[in-house]
Structure 1
Amino acid sequence: MREADSEFIEHLPCPHCGSSDANSLYTDGHQYCFSCGTYTPAGEDAPTTNRRERQSRMADFVSGAVTALGKRKISEETCRKWGYRVGDYNGQTVHIADYWNPEGTEVVAQKVRFPNKDFTITGKMKEAGLYGQHLWRDKGKMIVVTEGEIDALTVSQLQDNRWPVVSIPHGAKGAKKALSKHLEWLLGFDTIILFFDADEEGRRAVEECAPLFPPGRCKVARMADFKDPSDAHQAGKSAQIIDAIWGAKVYRPDGVLSGSELWDALTTDDELVETATYPWDGVNTITHGLRRAELVTITAGSGVGKSAVVREIAHHLLREGETVGMLMLEESVKRTARGLMGIALNRPVHLDMTPWAELPEEERQARRQAYEAVIGNDRLYLYDHFGSTEVDNLLNRVRYLAKGCECGWIILDHLSIVVSGLDDGDERKAIDVAMTKLRTLVQETGVGLIMVSHLRRPSGDRGHEQGAETSLSQLRGSHSIAQLSDMVIGLERDQQDEKTKDITTVRILKNRFSGETGIATHLLYSKDTGRLTECRPEFVAREEEDDDPPF
C-alpha cells in the first residue's frame, strides 16, 4: 500500500514537538505531525528529515481544526480526507488548505483564505504539487482538475472521496504553468477532465491548458447554470456536477467540428443574410446579388469608368431604400452629389456649368426633386475629404458609417489613394495591412463594402485603355486584394476604338459565393443621359454601321 492511499486512524501525541494531538497515525503505520511537520515512516521512531529544519519550515504555518463547512455543504469526513481545516489568523477565522510536495512526504505550503475571499500563502508554494495530488496514485483511469480548493473538495465528496481530483494553486491565470509543471504526473491518467469556472478566465484557461495533453485524452466539463461545482452543490444541484463530469466532451480547438454534430445545424434554417441587387440583370445572374458582410472589389484600368459604375450602384441601392455611405476620395462631395442627381434625372448635370441663379425655374425644381429623392433623405452619407488619408482614420470613418449611421452598404473609391501618402513607400505592404483591416471590419460590422482598386499595366503593347482583358494577377500592389475579397469585378473598355469606346465589358474575376465567373454583361454609356445601361455589343455596332452612307 502506498502512503498516499492510506487512511487516517487517530490523533496521537507528538514526541518531537510535544503537541498532545497534532500527530496523526495512518493505516499503513506512518505518522505525520501537523504541528511541527515531522514525518515518521511505518516501523520507525525517528523523522526522515532534520527536526529543526522541519520546525523552521512549519513555524509560519497556521493551525486549525477539521470541521464540516456548513455553508459549502462539505462534510467533516471530506475535510479530514483533504486535511482542510478552519483556524484563526490575526484574529480572523480562516480556511486552511495544506499543499504537499509532489512526493507526498510533507506539507510545504498553505493557502489561508479569509472570509472576504482574499487569501495569503505561507511556506514555499514553488515546491508544492497540485492541491490534493498527494492523495492519489500516480496513475489511473481518470482525474478531474478544478480551479479552486473548495471545488476540489466538492467534486471529491460527490464521488465518495474515492476518485482522483486535484486543484490548481493560483487560479485560472496560473493554470497552464501549474499543469505544465506536473504534466508527467497528470499523463499517468488515461483521461484528464478540466472542470474550470464558467467565466471568461476559465474558458481562456481551458484553451491554454487543453493543448498540453495528447489529442483525445483531455475532456472539458461544463455546466450551463452555474459558475463552478461549489455553486451548484450549494444550490442543491449536485447532479449537474456529476453529469458534467461523466458527460465531459473531448477537447477540440475552436472551429473544429465533428461531422456527427452537424445534423441539427443542417436541418435548421440559417439566419437570413440581408441582400440587395445590382442595377444590371446580367451581373445579378452570375453574382446572385450583393450580400451584407461581403467585400466586393471593382477594378479596371485608369479612365475606364470605375467611379461611374459605383455611382450607378449607389443610386440603385438608394432607390431600393437602402442606407449608403460613400467615401469617394478622388472627387469632392459636390461632384458625387451632382453625379447622383444626374443619374436620377437621366442627364449629366455635372457637365452643365450654368450658374444656379440663371437656371430656369423648371430645371431648378427638377434638380431639387432629384436631390430629395436620392440625397436629402437621410439615407446617404458622404465623407468630405480629398486625397490621401491614414488607414486607421479611414477605418474609423467606415466603422462610424456602419455603426453610427447604420449604413448597410459602404462604397470606398479607391484603395490605392488610401495608402499613397504613406511615408515608407512600400505600397504592397500598405495594401496588405489595409486589406486585412478592411476585411476584419466587414466581419465586425456586417456591412457590405464595395471597394474600387486600380490595376497594374498588363504585359505587352495593349493596355487597359485599349480594352485589355482584366485578371486577378493584375490587381495593383498585393495579392491580398484578390485573396480577401469575396467578389472581384473587372471592367474593360477600349477607349480608342470609335465604334466600341462607349461599351464596357463587365467580367466577374472571382465569386466566392457561387464560383461562377466570366463575362456578366456589357454596359453602354450614353452621352445624352450620362447613364450606363445593359446592351448587346453586336447590335450597337450594327446600328452604327447602318448610319453610314451606302456609297
Structure 2
Amino acid sequence: MDLKEKIIEAKNNLGEKAAHIIAEDLHIEKWDSKMLKGCCPWHRENTPSLMWNKKENYFKCFGCGRVYGILDHFQAQGLPYIESVKKIFETANIPLDDFDFRNTEKDDFFKDYKYPKEEINTDRSKVEKYLTIRGISRATLDFANIKQDYQGNIVFEHRNVDGKLLAVKYRPARVIKKKEAKMWWQKNASMCPILYGVDKIDITMPLLIVEGHIDRLACIEAGFTNVVSIPIGANDLSWIEFNWEWLENFDNIILWADNDDAGRKMIKESIVRIGEHRCRTVEPDEVVVSKVKEYYAQYKANINKTDANNVLLACGKQEVINLINNAKEVPIPDVTKLMECEEFDITKAEVLPTGTKDLDSHIYGYVEGTLNIWTGRTGSGKSTYIIGSCINEAIHNGYGTFIYSGELTQSQLKNWVMLQMAGRNHIIEWDNGENKPKTYTVTNDAKKAIESKYMDSIYVYDSYLIATPEKVISRMEYMRKKHGVRNFIIDNLMCLELDIVKNGNELNAQKNLIIQFLQFAVRYNAIVHLVAHPRKPNGEMAVSEYDILGSSTIPNLAHRIFSVRRTTGEDRENGDAHDAYVSILKDRILGVNKKEVGLYYDVPSRRMYGDKDDVSRKYSWDTGKIKYRTSKFGNNGRLVTNINQEEREVFG
C-alpha cells in the first residue's frame, strides 16, 4: 500500500472523530455535534456555514469556500508534514511498523549534491514589513517557514516530502529595481527543480500549482494551503519530470500562471504533460483584470497581471478562493465553434528549424502538432538526412527526441549521430592501409562532451525489430508527459508488427496506425517524423507522394511529405554538383509543393548540407573549449579539419 492509500485509510478510520477534534481545538462557535456543522472560524458569520463532508472527510465552508481537513489541522499546529501523517495514523490506530517514509526515488540525482546551509538568522522584521504590504500575514509566514537572511532578504526553503532541505532561494524584501536580479539560489550549493512547498501538501486533496513563490503565500493567506510554486520560472518545466512520481498522487491538479505569453505557454504545455483529464485552470475574468489595474493605478503603475498575489491585494482573500474553487476544466470537445478557434499563423507557431536554410525558406521548419512522412529509395541518403535534420537539429535546439528504429541498431544510430554532431573539427581519419577504406571516429574529448550535453535529450526504443504500434505509442505518450519530449522519429512503418486480424487486412492496419500517429501529434502538440519506404523503383523516376509503399490513405493523412533522392548520372553530366536532393512532395500547412533543395554530402562527418549552410557549423555542445595539441593521432590517424574531400561513398 502506498502513502496516499494509507492516508485515505487513516482518514476513513477516523471519520467523524476528526471533525470533533478540529471543532474542539478551534473552538468553533455554534457547533452542532450531530449535524457536524458550525460557524466558520475564518470569517465572520452568524449562521453556521462550515459543514463536515463525511465522504471526503474534511470541513468546507459554504460562505468563504475554505476546505480544512485533519492533516491541515495538524500542520497548522506546527507539525511537519511527515509528523502530521504519523499523528493521523496514530490517532486512527493504524500500525506503522512496515511502512517506510523515506524518499529514495532521486538517489542518483543527489549522489554528488551540495546541500544548502540552513539560514539561522532569527530576525524577520524586514521580511514581515515588506510582505505585510503584499498582504501576507505573520501567521502565513510561520506556516510556510519563511525566514530572513542577514542581508534582509526573503528566504524560501525548498524541502522534500521528508522535510529535508534541498535548495534555498532568495528575494529582496522590497520592490525590485530595474535590471536587478529578482530571485537567486544560495551560492556554493546545488539546486534542484523540486516544487516549493511539497513538505506541506496533503496528497489526498486537490493540488494547486502557481507560478511564483509569493503567489503561493498569497493562496495560503487566502485559506488554500494545498499549494506549491514552480521553482524557477514559467519557461522552465523541468519540475514536471523531477516531481513526476509525486505528481502522480493527485487526481485533481489546478494550474494558476500569469496572464502573459510565458504563463499561457506554461499552462498549455503542463496540461499536455500532466494530463487533461486531471487538470483545471484558474482564469481570472475581465472584472478581476480591471480591479488589478485600478489597484496599481493609485501607485501610477500600469499593471494588469492577475497572479495570486495581485488578486489578493486588489480583490481580497475571497476572490482568490473563488477563483481556485471555480477553476475551469480543460475542454476536450468533439465539436467546437470555428470562430472561437485560434487562427493559425506560421510566424507565431512553435517551429523547429530543419538545419537546411533553403528548406526553411520554403516551409519555415517543422511545426509542432504535425505528422511528417519521409520516403526515398534505399541508399538515397534518407536516413543520413533525417539524423541531421530531424534528430541532431532537434536536440541542438532543446527538443527532447524519441527514436524508434527498426533498421539501425542503437550502436549504429549513435555512431551516425556522434559523427554528425562532432563535425570535421573533431573527427579523426584513419588510414587502414592499402586496399582498405579509410574510417572515421570522433575524438574522445568531443565524444565525452557530446554525451554529457545530450545525455537527457535523446531516447531510443529498446526493442530492436520487435515492436507493436500499441507499445511504441504508449512509450511515446510516457516520454511526452514525463520527460517533455516533443520530437519523435519512427523508422520505419514496415518494421512495426501490425494486427492484421484485428484490422481486417494489412492496408486497414496501416491506415489506422497512421491515424494514431496523427492523433498523437495533434493532441500532444508534438512533431512526428515517420519513415515509409517507396514502392519498387521505376527506373530513375523521382519518388512522388503516391509512390509510398502501403495504404493509399497514408499520403492523404500526413501534414507534410518529404522525399530524399540521389543525383543521377544525367544530373552529373549536366553539371549538377549536388549529391542529393530533399523534396517537398506535400505541404498541407503552407501549400508548398514540388520544391527541391540541393544537398552536398561530407564523407567524414556524414553531414548533408545545402548551398547556404556551413558544413563545419558548431552544435550547442561545442563551446570552443576543446583544443588539440596535434593533428596526428597514433601512427595512422589525423584530424579531418582542412583535409580536402577527395572521395565519395554510398550514404543511406
- Coarse TM-score class (shorter-chain normalised): 0.3 to 0.5
Larger proportion of strand: 1
Q: Which has the higher contact order (CA 8 A, sep 6+)?
A: 2
Report the TM-score, using the length of structure 2 for normalisation: 0.37
TM-score scaled by structure 1?
A: 0.44
